[in-house]
Amino acid sequence: MGDIGARIEESKNWFERAAERVPGYKGYKQKELRREADKIQRTFVAERLEFGRRALENLELDISRSGKLDILGIVDTVARKLRTVKDRFLFADYGYAGWFDAVKVDQGVLDSIYQLDAQAQEAAVAIEQLAKSLRADSPSLRADIDILDERVEALDEFFAQRDHVVTGAGR
């Protein structure tokens, strides 16, 4: 499970370690820990995207103050896409399946979801950094916004892959 999994494993108390010796409990608990690690990763991705969106809001203010209103709509569109992708990660299914749910999520699928979310972390950090680096007075602002838009759309497509792993169906 990587760094998050190791940190979760280290944080177990004596009772949790003793309970792992009960037949059947260890596998159940491992699934729950994978789900929790997945949730932590998705929250991290959503936070990075939110920081990037806030940077775009600040950019919009700077652009409107400088009078470059022609590009303001483009920045707003990218900010809305960023919010949508952030919400998709934040509120995504993290692999829970009850006894009577139509879609069951097994151990291998949980591992795949975890790996996809780990890759999404890198993309989210890059989006945040790019959004924070944009300046209203930059001569390449339009090109930089286009690059940011492409990265946001790529992360959205990446999320569609994740969704396919969870449900087995595309969107």
CA separation for the pair 63, 55 (Å, rounded):
12
Let me know if 51 is exposed, middle or buried by CB neighbors in 10 A (0-12, 13-18, 19+): middle
Between 39 and 97, where is the model more confident?
A: 39
CA separation for the pair 43, 162 (Å, rounded):
15
CA separation for the pair 145, 140 (Å, rounded):
9
Residue 14's SS3 state is helix
Q: Across all residues in the chain, what is the average pLDDT?
A: 80
DSSP conformational letter for 49 = H
What's CA 117's distance to the chain center, in Å? 6
Residue 61: the pLDDT is 95
Residue 55 clears pLDDT 50, i.e. is over it: yes
Residue 27: the pLDDT is 59
Residue 74 clears pLDDT 90, i.e. is over it: yes
Q: Which residue has the tokens 């991290």?
A: 44
pLDDT tens sequence across 90-135: 887 655 444 444 445 566 776 777 777 778 899 999 999 999 999 9
pLDDT tier for residue 51 given thresholds of 50, 70 and 90: very high
Contact 89, 168 (CB under 8 A): no
- Buried b / exposed e over 91-110, threshold 16 CB at 10 Å, is ebebbebeeeeeeebeeebb
Contact 53, 82 (CB under 8 A): yes
The whole-model pTM stands at 0.74
Domain count, the chain: 1
Q: Which residue has the tokens 């309970």?
A: 19
Look up the domain containing 56 and give its range. Answer: 2-167
CA separation for the pair 81, 152 (Å, rounded):
7
CATH number of domain containing 84: 1.20.120
